[in-house]
Structure 1
Amino acid sequence: MSRRHVTFSCEDDTLVGTLDDAEGTAGLLLVSGGNEIRSGAFAGQAHLAARLAAAGFPVFRYDRRGIGDSSGANREFRDSGADLAAAIAAFRTEKPDLTRVVGFGNCDAASALMLNSGSGCDALVLANPWTIEEDDGAPPPEVIRSRYAQKLRDPKEVLRLVTGGVSLRKLASGLKRATAATAAPSGLAQEMKAGLEAFAGPVRILIADRDRTAQAFLADWDRHDPRLSTCDCASHAFVEPDAREWLFQRLVTALST
């Protein structure tokens, strides 16, 4: 495995990417979420790329316009289609022997891949897609109802309730939100669904069970979608050791099949 940096054009700007090279002909395009640079928080994406490359799969990461080392204005994830297309073209230029490119993104990077129908990738792995348009910091009613149902099945939680260990004020607020009507899927979620329907390749949707972004996505999505897989121990970035291994294995599977 070797690591090298490359520059490539996106319209009138210059983007910077990193290729973790390997001999395999199936490679991963790793798309950063939010305003995160290509190395990821605490270099998490860099470590993941190195591990996948050591397993034989080349990995290409990049900073979109206005982020990290790349020039231009930050257009956010909704308008990152040109960046995606430029990155996958650069990946194929650097690795002309590639036969398959799997696109992977977490949070709004997953959303960007969906909105752009994969942007030329052959397969997609989408983790905790972002569907929230107005974020008030609270989970959707379906998630609250599920949480209360789980608590009521736990004898310890019932004992806390009857012995005064639960704040009645917070309980009342939670019950109010839980009984609210289920909102229609957001416009963003509908756009993402339409974009994904136009993608012909295989898709895996990974859900971190402890993540509010994932919970909000599920409130807008068909929970019986066979493409869904849930990691029970995971938070948003799959930082827990078991969750990190779970994610790695699913990426290897996507790259191998």
Structure 2
Amino acid sequence: MRQWLNLSCQGVQLAAALDEAPARSGLLIVSGGNETLSGSHGNMSALAARIAAAGHPVFRYDRRGVGDAAGENGGFETGGADLAAAVAAFRAAAPHMSRLVGFGNCDGASTLALFGADLGIDAFVLANPWVIETLGEMPPAAAIKARYREKLLDPREWLRLLRGGVNIAKVFKGLRAVAAKAPSGGLAERMRTAIAAAPRPIRIVLARRDATALAFADAWGNHSAAHVTIVEIDSNSHSFAKATDAEALTNTLLDALSGS
């Protein structure tokens, strides 16, 4: 059964939804971008229903300035207070719950990584975490590199180059983007530090051919930590919209909820 709730964050009313279920481990979903509880964004609603059908309570919310929540939308980097309010409201609404798993996609994952460590969340699932400073008109450098790699292995692209069918100016623009270094102390560095320092189990789920996931994988590099597990799903869908992607993501979340 799904019930609609309101909660307060620094004097501002937020909208929330609770999918009730009896298990003692529950899932808190932090939406990415400006994805809302209601309206056209159905992926997280469907995911919540699947997890609840498996027996686990699920809590979702609109942060300030998004969807049915009041206040101003300051973006994901201002979402720490909203996250704290949601954790408290979830625990109050499901008092039987003893284990809380936080899940976010895109900048929802970044909000969890940056602000969730001190909120009593027991485990994290971070999908395609956002580490890109600005998009501009170019895709992330890691996505450009992956695309160039594909082209270099394709004989038809060499023929296009020899016949003048390749925009050389665009190629050099891409190469400059690849060569550009991430700023010191930027989002990617803060995310690496937050993930490495978190005292809880973390699963990082990456859609293998998604530009945002490629950017995170490039920023993460060869870093490793005993509490961090990388899970790759062979997909180009940022939101895991395909049926096989959704099933793989659901199974990963159920593993995290079971503590396995």
TM, length-normalised to structure 1: 0.88
Q: Which residue of 1 aligns with 2:240?
A: 238
- Give the CA deviation at 1:165: 8.8
Give the match for residue 122 of structure 2: 122
Q: Which residue of 2 aligns with 1:111?
A: 110
RMSD: 2.4
C-alpha contact (below 8 Å) 1:30/1:59 kept by paired residues: yes
Give the stretch that moved more between structures: 217-226 or 102-111: 217-226
Q: CA deviation at 1:6?
A: 1.4
Distance 2:206 2:159 in 1: 31
Q: Contact between 2:125 and 2:204, CA under 8 Å: does it hold in 1?
A: yes
State the Cα deviation string for residues 190-227 of structure 1 (Å, max 9, x = none).
22233333421100011112222222222221245462
Amino acid at match of 2:145: R
- Residues 1:40 and 1:53: Cα distance change in structure 2 (over 3 Å): farther
Shift of residue 86, structure 1, vs aligned partner: 0.7
Unmatched 5+ residue regions in structure 1? none
Bigger shift: residues 192-201 or 206-215: 192-201
Change in 2 beyond 3 A, CA 1:161/1:245: farther
- 1:12 is matched with which residue? 11
Q: What's the counterpart of residue 218 of structure 1?
A: 217
Matching of residues 1-257 of structure 1 within 5 Å = 2-39=1-38, 41-118=40-117, 119-155=119-155, 157-158=157-158, 164=163, 166-169=165-168, 172-173=171-172, 176-177=175-176, 180-184=179-183, 187-223=186-222, 225=224, 227-257=229-259
* Distance change (3 Å), C-alpha of 1:243 and 1:223: farther
1:9 partner SS: strand
- How far is the alpha carbon of 1:30 from its aligned partner? 0.4
- Taking a change above 3 Å as real, the CA distance of residues 105 and 179 of structure 1, as seen in their structure-2 partners, is closer
**Bigger shift: 211-220 or 51-60?**
211-220
CA offset digits 1:59-80 (Å, max 9, x no partner): 0001111222222222221111
Number of residue pairs aligned between Structure 1 and Structure 2: 255
Equivalent position SS for 2:179: coil
Residue identity in the other structure for 1:249 = N
> How far apart are residue 5 of structure 1 and its match?
1.0
Secondary structure at the counterpart of residue 254 of structure 2: helix
The 8 Å contact of residues 32 and 40 in structure 1, kept in 2 or not, is answered as: no
Q: How far is 1:102 from its partner?
A: 0.5
Tell me the amino acid that sits aligned with residue 111 of structure 1.
S
64 and 140 in structure 1: CA distance in 2 versus 1, 3 angstrom threshold: closer
Q: How far off its partner does 1:229 sit?
A: 1.7
Q: Answer yes or no: is the 8 Å Cα contact 2:128–2:216 preserved in 1.
A: yes
1:167-207 CA-partner distances (Å, limit 9, x unpaired): 24367336634762544566112222333334211000111
The percent identity for this pair of structures is 47
Query: Equivalents in 2 of 1:243, 1:168: separation in Å?
Result: 35
Q: CA deviation at 1:161?
A: 5.2
Find the residue that maps to 1:227 and give its secondary structure. strand
Q: Is the 8 A contact 1:18 1:62 kept in 2?
A: yes
Q: CA deviation at 1:50?
A: 0.6
In 2, Cα distance between equivalents of 1:103 and 1:127: 11
Contact 1:81 1:116 survives alignment (8 Å): yes
**Cα gap change, 1:174/1:229 in structure 2, threshold over 3 Å: closer, same or farther?**
farther
